[in-house]
């Protein structure tokens, strides 16, 4: 059992969001439910995984939690502040506390900026420090995520896939956020890189007592690091609990199905070569 | 490194221009008849006289010899000899080319000045009613035939009398001072310039809009937005620099094609540029004038593209010169 502080870092209740689509010709409104009635509580310093199939509403929820989109209904408390009551400039200082890392690091990095500029950019947006200070801070974070300082002047496209994801992590870390949302951040990496980035994330978490929300469709990956797992299906969270309990005794039929569909290497070998 | 690149591009351009000149020569040779064919129909002029004239102007010599003579005259800046004007082609073309350049440069600048704000605004407002209205307006402009547009402008000039309905300077304007003369030319330039700009603006708006939207929807913009960056800053610090590359290529292309696009507007609105000269020369089979204009527009096209490529080189650190 994990020792939990009483005050949660993030608490959402009955959160719901719709996508409004417009018909190409008639311009008629078409409302598609992204997710509804989502309840989720995340305690500081923990790693929570949100799993589910494509289209379950995971990424929409992630964008909502990253303050990229406004939910249609519900409550969203972060660090004791009701975020849905804040607008525009009032929301601005809260944004630095929640950072997001995207699936494809290539498209998530501005191709025109150098690595140093990319990492320092959030500081610039938040109007922090002088140019020299920002650069120094960027170089420090670069080193922390395992990128050599001499890469400062390279553009994003000159890095490998794993390095680009490190770059994206560095950009997220420079604002010293409390919550890092990783939207399928490991999915586009090969196994070796996945392992290295995961190790990096664990080290950073230990050093900074960061909180992670991992969005993933890969249960096997999630089972390696998540303390709490929430299973999303059809725009709702159908089951959540401690990873150990959830993997051992799944309650919801969808979770059971998901776990059954996750073959172990041994079972694959048995099936194919027996 | 950049100098080496420019030198290589210039060599390529020279080869291209030589190839174009050979092709123009060969194609015009294939076309039936020559400048003196009209004379043959005249019973008062004997066949001997016509043949004598053809020999005098060198039209009876083999193609290769004529090409060689033309090359030499190009080096002297004469670009061959116009039979219709009885003068070297060079001086004839330079004045006209200056007028055409004035028109096309003015129109290019005007078109981009119109297209950049409209395209940017439309991309920012994408999906809204305003954006759709803008899209419909641009499609409408695209479908209006250029000819109709120019005729409408001409009608406007004639009916209202607000603008001169042709030419480049008013009679007697040559005795005016510099500023009055410039004002007079600007007034004459206005209609052809607006007409030419309007024909390419919708195309530019569409390209600018779609290039910007591509970038605005990308993840790195989303990452910046998650940090609370303002919409205007996203547009100018992020979207424009990234979207600029295809647009710079488009700029080069639009400079290059303006010259051919200007032929119609020059003929209809009587702008004394290369257009009317080219049309006359084609009808009269004044071969060297035609080749001269063709060569000049090729130079424009090549120069426009070279200009765009150099801009790209300056704009984008990703473009490396081997």
Q: What is the per-residue pLDDT across B52-64, written as a single tens digit (0 to 9) for each?
A: 877 777 777 778 8
Whether residue B177 lies within 8 A of chain A, CB to CB, comes out as no
Contacts with B, A 191-210, CB within 8 Å: none
Mean residue pLDDT of chain B comes to: 84
**CB-based contacts of B214: which residues, under 8 Å, 6+ apart?**
B243
Asked if A116 has any chain B CB less than 8 Å from its own CB, the reply is no
Cβ of A112 within 8 Å of Cβ of B218? The answer is: no
| Average pLDDT of span B153-172 | 79
**B220, B233, B241 member nearest A108 (Cβ):** B220
Confidence of residue B318 (pLDDT cuts 50, 70, 90): low
Q: How confident is the model at residue A132 (pLDDT cuts 50, 70, 90)?
A: very high
> Given pLDDT bands bounded at 50, 70 and 90, which one contains residue B317?
low
Residue of A111, A121, A168 with shortest CB distance to B224: A121
Give the residue-averaged pLDDT of B158-164.
81
Q: Where are the beta strands (DSSP E) in A94-221?
A: 98-101, 179-183, 211-216
What is the bridge-based pairing of β-strands A211-216 and A179-183? parallel
Q: How far apart are CA B265 and CA B205, in angstroms?
A: 21
pLDDT of residue A97 exceeding 80: yes
For residues B226 and B35, the model is more confident at B226
pLDDT tens, B291-313?
888 888 888 888 888 888 888 88
Task: Give Cα B268 distance to the centre of its chain.
Answer: 16
Nearest chain B residue to A87 by CA: give it.
Answer: B228
Residue B1 pLDDT = 66
Give the C-alpha separation, A240 to A41, whole Å. Answer: 10
Q: What is the mean pLDDT of residues B61-75?
A: 83
Examine the pLDDT at A2 and tell me if it is beyond 60.
Answer: no
CA distance B11 to chain A (A): 31
The A47-51 sheet, strands edge to edge: A98-101, A179-183, A211-216, A47-51, A228-233, A236-242
Provide, rounded to the nearest whole percent, the portion of chain A with pLDDT above 90. Answer: 19
Pairwise CB contact (< 8 Å): A109 & B242: no
Q: Are A61 and A38 in contact (CB under 8 A)?
A: yes
Domain boundaries, chain A: 1-97+179-194+210-274, 104-176
Interface touch B226/A126, C-beta < 8 Å? no
pLDDT (average), residues A51-72? 87
Who has greater pLDDT, B144 or B45? B144
Q: Chain A residue closest to B230 (CA)?
A: A125
User: Rounded distance, CA B276 to CA A157, Å?
Assistant: 50
Confidence of residue A5 (pLDDT cuts 50, 70, 90): low
pLDDT higher than 60, residue A77: yes
Pairing of strands A228-233, A47-51: parallel
Residue A149: pLDDT above 50? Answer: yes
Q: Is the pLDDT of residue A102 over 50?
A: yes
CA–CA distance, B322 with B319 (Å, rounded to integer): 10
B231 touches chain A (CB under 8 A): no
pTM summary value:
0.75
Position B205 scores a pLDDT of 94
**pLDDT the model gives residue B115:** 94
Residues 6+ positions from B125 with CB-CB distance below 8 Å: B131, B134
In the sheet where A10-22 sits, what is the strand order? A29-42, A10-22, A73-78, A81-82
Share of chain A above pLDDT 70, in %: 97
Contacts of A22 in chain B (CB under 8 A): 127
Say if residue A223's pLDDT is above 50.
yes
Mean pLDDT, residues A4-31 taken together: 81
Query: Would you state the pLDDT for residue A1?
Result: 46
Structural domains for chain B: 2-89 (no CATH), 92-320 (1.10.3720.10)
Chain A residues touching residue B218 (CB < 8 angstroms): 107
Is A64 an interface residue toward B (CB < 8 Å)?
no
Instruction: Report d(CA B249, CA B208) in Å as an integer.
Output: 12
**How far A166 CA lies from chain B's nearest CA (Å)?**
15
Q: Which of A95, A112, A126 sits opposite B241 (nearest CB)?
A: A112
Interface test with A, best of B214, B219, B245, B318 (most A CBs within 10 A): B219
* Contact across the interface for A102 and B223, Cβ inside 8 Å: yes
Closest by CA to A234, choosing from A63, A64, A52, is A52
Q: Does pLDDT of A4 surpass 50?
A: yes
B102-154 pLDDT, tens digit each? 898 899 999 999 999 999 999 988 888 889 999 999 999 889 888 898 888 88
Which pairing describes strands A73-78 and A10-22: parallel, antiparallel, or unpaired?
antiparallel
Predicted local distance difference test score (pLDDT) of residue B133: 92
Report residue B86 as tokens.
């009885």
Cβ count within 10 A of residue A53 = 14
Task: Test A104 with B127 for CB contact under 8 angstroms.
Answer: no
Distance from CA of B233 to the nearest CA of A (A): 9
B184-215 confidence digits (pLDDT tens): 788 888 888 999 999 889 999 999 999 999 88
Helix axes of B146-160 and B178-216: crossing angle, nearest 10 degrees: 140
First to last CA, chain B: 8
If residue A73 lies in a helix (H) or strand (E), which one and from where to where?
A: strand A73-78
- Predicted complex ipTM: 0.71
Residue from A86, A93, A125, A176 to probe the interface with B (highest B Cβ count within 10 Å): A125
Res. A250: pLDDT tops 90 = no
Question: Which residues of chain A lie closer than 8 angstroms to B317, CB-CB?
Answer: 112, 155
Please name the CATH architecture into which domain A1-97+179-194+210-274 falls: 3-Layer(aba) Sandwich (3.40)
A150 three-class SS: helix
Across A149-158, B174-183, B248-257, least confident range = B174-183
In this model, does residue B22 exceed pLDDT 80?
yes
CB under 8 Å to A197, separation ≥6 — which residues?
Answer: A162, A165, A166, A169, A185, A186, A189
Q: Which residues lie below 8 Å from residue A102, measured CB to CB, with a gap of 6+? A: A108, A168, A183, A184, A185, B219, B222, B223
Name the percent of chain B lying above pLDDT 90.
Answer: 14
Which band of pLDDT confidence, cut at 50, 70 and 90, is reported for residue B319? low
Q: How confident is the model at residue A212 (pLDDT cuts 50, 70, 90)?
A: very high
CB-CB contact of A5 with A211 (8 Å)? no
**Contact yes or no for A127/A92 (Cβ under 8 A):** no
């Amino acid at each position: 059992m994990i020792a939990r502080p009483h005050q949660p870092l993030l608490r959402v209740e009955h959160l719901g969001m719709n996508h409004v689509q417009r018909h190409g010709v008639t311009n008629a409104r078409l409302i598609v439910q992204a997710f509804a009635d989502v309840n989720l509580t995340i305690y500081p310093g923990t790693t929570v995984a949100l799993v589910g199939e494509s289209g379950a509403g995971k990424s929409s929820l992630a964008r909502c939690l990253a303050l990229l989109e406004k939910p249609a209904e519900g409550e969203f408390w972060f660090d004791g502040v009701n975020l849905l009551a804040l607008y525009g400039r009032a929301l601005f200082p809260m944004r630095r506390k929640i950072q997001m890392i995207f699936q494809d690091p290539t498209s998530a990095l501005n191709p025109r900026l150098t690595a140093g500029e990319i990492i320092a950019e959030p500081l610039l947006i938040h109007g922090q420090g002088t140019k020299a200070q920002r650069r120094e801070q960027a170089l420090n974070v670069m080193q922390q995520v395992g990128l050599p300082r001499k890469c400062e002047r390279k553009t994003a496209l000159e890095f490998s896939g794993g390095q680009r994801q490190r770059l994206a992590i560095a950009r997220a870390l420079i604002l010293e956020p409390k919550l890092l949302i990783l939207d399928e951040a490991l999915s586009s990496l090969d196994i070796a890189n996945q392992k290295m980035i995961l190790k990096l994330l664990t080290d950073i978490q230990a050093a900074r007592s960061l909180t992670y929300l991992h969005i993933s469709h890969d249960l096997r990956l999630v089972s390696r690091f998540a303390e709490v797992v929430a299973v999303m299906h059809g725009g709702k969270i159908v089951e959540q609990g401690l990873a150990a309990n959830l993997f051992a005794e799944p309650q919801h039929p969808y979770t059971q199905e998901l776990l059954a569909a996750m073959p172990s290497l041994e079972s694959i070998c048995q099936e194919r070569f027996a | 490194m950049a100098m080496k690149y420019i030198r290589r591009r210039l060599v390529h351009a020279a080869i291209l221009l030589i190839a174009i000149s050979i092709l123009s020569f060969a194609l015009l040779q294939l076309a039936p008849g020559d400048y003196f064919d009209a004379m043959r129909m005249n019973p008062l002029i004997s066949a001997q006289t016509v043949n004598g004239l053809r020999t005098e102007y060198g039209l009876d010599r083999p193609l290769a010899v004529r090409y060689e003579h033309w090359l030499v005259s190009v080096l002297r800046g004469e670009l061959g000899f116009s039979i219709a004007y009885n003068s070297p082609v060079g001086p004839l073309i330079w004045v006209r080319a200056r007028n055409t350049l004035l028109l096309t440069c003015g129109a290019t600048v005007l078109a981009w000045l119109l297209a950049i704000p409209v395209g940017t605004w439309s991309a920012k407002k994408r999906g809204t009613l305003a954006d759709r209205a803008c899209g419909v307006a641009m499609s409408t402009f695209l479908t209006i035939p250029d000819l109709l547009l120019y005729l409408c402008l001409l009608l406007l000039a004639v009916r209202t009398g607000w603008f001169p309905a042709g030419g480049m300077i008013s009679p007697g304007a040559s005795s005016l001072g510099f500023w009055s003369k410039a004002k007079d030319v600007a007034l004459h330039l206005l209609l052809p310039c607006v007409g030419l700009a309007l024909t390419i603006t919708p195309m530019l708006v569409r390209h600018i809009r779609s290039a910007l939207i591509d970038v605005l929807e990308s993840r790195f913009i989303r990452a910046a937005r998650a940090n609370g960056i303002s919409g205007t800053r996203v547009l100018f610090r992020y979207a424009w620099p990234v979207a600029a590359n295809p647009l710079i290529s488009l700029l080069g292309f639009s400079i290059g094609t303006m010259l051919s696009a200007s032929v119609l507007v020059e003929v209809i609105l009587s702008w004394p540029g290369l257009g009317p000269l080219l049309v006359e020369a084609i009808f009269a089979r004044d071969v060297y004038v035609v080749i001269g204009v063709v060569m000049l527009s090729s130079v424009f096209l090549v120069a426009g593209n070279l200009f765009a490529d150099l801009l790209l080189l300056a704009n984008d650190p990703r473009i490396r010169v081997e």
